Amino acid sequence: MKSANNPPELIRQIKNLRTPLFLAPVFEQKPLEILYGTEGFLRRRVVQTMYPLLPPEVAADLQDTSLLAEESLQELATINVEEVSDRELQSPRILISLTFIGFSALLISFLLLYLSTTNPHLSLKQQIADYWYQYIFSVCLGVTGLLLFGREVMRQDQNQDLEDI
């Protein structure tokens, strides 16, 4: 009788198995419940580790913030993602796009302020040549916000489509 450590014999035994080697994962929890559990596990360990090392005022603030996060995420875990409609997500999508646009404008203004105060001897072309990564990042962030906003504005209301039919 050959031993199971022999590679050809081992391959033959694996091929003769009737059950699959990899089973599809079964998740009975909702995605937000998984997020709540995972984040809570990591956050509690960090707070437990950091609490003795911090000054008392900061440690108390850290613990209060952790309790607030616990309550907020516990409330968030009760939301059923499948029941959230597209219409309910419209205003958050618009706010996110406006945030991108505003943050882009703020970054460009801070970049211009920084360059004008620290390098007043550079011309505009030299500033752009030296700091073009920062310019491109800011502009791309703004364009992304504009695209998100335009997509949301051009999206038609589904109820209006049903009325047109």
Structural domain that includes position 67 = 31-83
Query: Mind listing the pLDDT tens digit for each residue in 147-158?
Result: 999 999 888 765
Residues contacting residue 107 through CB under 8 Å, at least 6 positions apart: 134, 137, 138, 141
Query: Mind listing the pLDDT tens digit for each residue in 51-103?
Result: 889 999 998 999 999 999 989 888 888 888 788 888 888 889 999 999 999 99
Q: What is the pLDDT of residue 29?
A: 72
Q: What is the pLDDT of residue 12?
A: 66
Last residue of a domain, one of 66, 83, 100: 83
Instruction: Give CA–CA dist 154/66, Å, rounded.
Output: 40
Residues 97 and 57 in one domain: no
Q: Does pTM top 0.75 for this prediction? A: no
pLDDT band at 127 (very low <50, low <70, confident <90, very high): confident
Domain total of the chain: 2
Residues 103 and 153 in one domain: yes
Query: Mind listing the pLDDT tens digit for each residue in 12-63?
Result: 665 665 555 555 666 677 778 888 888 888 888 988 898 889 999 998 999 9
Residues 79 and 114 in one domain: no
